[in-house]
């Protein structure tokens, strides 16, 4: 009788980790499915150049100009007519005064030049054009 009690207490003291492993596998699958969805963005075909990259110290502010000439910041569409005022308001509170412009290589040069002019009229003079490294 004493021997039987010792076996039961030893079995009862072991932790069943099967439910824990099941939960962890479900969480792993959820993260594997949702992570690529978080990286969505606009389809922009960047030009390739031989320039070296730069390091940003703060979260960069990126304006995207797509093939059709539409301007967006994040997922917010912007109009060229009020771009200067919007940029002035945005950069008033930002520590990092760097503006990055991702323009599709098939975008009209005049559209990119207009966006640059609006950024300069907003008082932003630290502007970079985002490109991809040239294939060797």
Pick the CATH number of 48-133 from 3.40.190.10, 3.30.420.270, 3.30.750.24, 1.10.10.10: 3.30.420.270
pLDDT recorded at residue 70: 92
pLDDT for the residue 65: 92
DSSP annotation of 40: -
What integer pLDDT is reported at residue 71 of this predicted model? 93
CB 130 within 8 A of CB 99: no
The b/e string for 24-41 (b: 16+ C-beta within 10 A; e otherwise) is eeeeeeeeeeeeeeeeee
pLDDT per residue rounded down to tens, the chain (136 residues): 556 655 555 555 677 888 889 999 999 888 888 776 655 555 666 666 665 555 545 678 889 999 889 999 888 899 999 999 999 988 888 888 889 999 988 989 899 999 999 999 988 888 888 888 877 6
Look at residue 41 in the predicted model and tell me its pLDDT.
54
Position 31 scores a pLDDT of 82
Q: What is the pTM of this model?
A: 0.58
Q: Considering Cα of 102, then 106, then 109, then 114, what sign does the dihedral take?
A: negative
């Amino acid at each position: 009788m004493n021997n039987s009690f010792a076996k039961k207490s030893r079995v009862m003291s072991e932790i069943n980790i099967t439910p824990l492993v099941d939960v962890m596998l479900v969480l792993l699958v959820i993260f594997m499915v949702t992570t690529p969805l978080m990286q969505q963005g606009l389809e922009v075909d960047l030009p390739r150049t031989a320039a070296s990259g730069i390091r940003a110290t703060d979260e960069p502010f990126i304006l995207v100009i797509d093939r059709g000439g539409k301007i967006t910041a994040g997922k917010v569409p912007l109009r060229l007519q009020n771009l200067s005022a919007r940029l002035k308001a945005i950069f008033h509170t930002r520590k990092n005064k760097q503006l990055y412009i991702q323009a599709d290589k098939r975008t009209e040069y005049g559209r990119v030049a207009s966006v640059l002019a609006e950024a300069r009229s907003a008082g932003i003079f630290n502007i970079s054009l985002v490109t991809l490294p040239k294939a060797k």
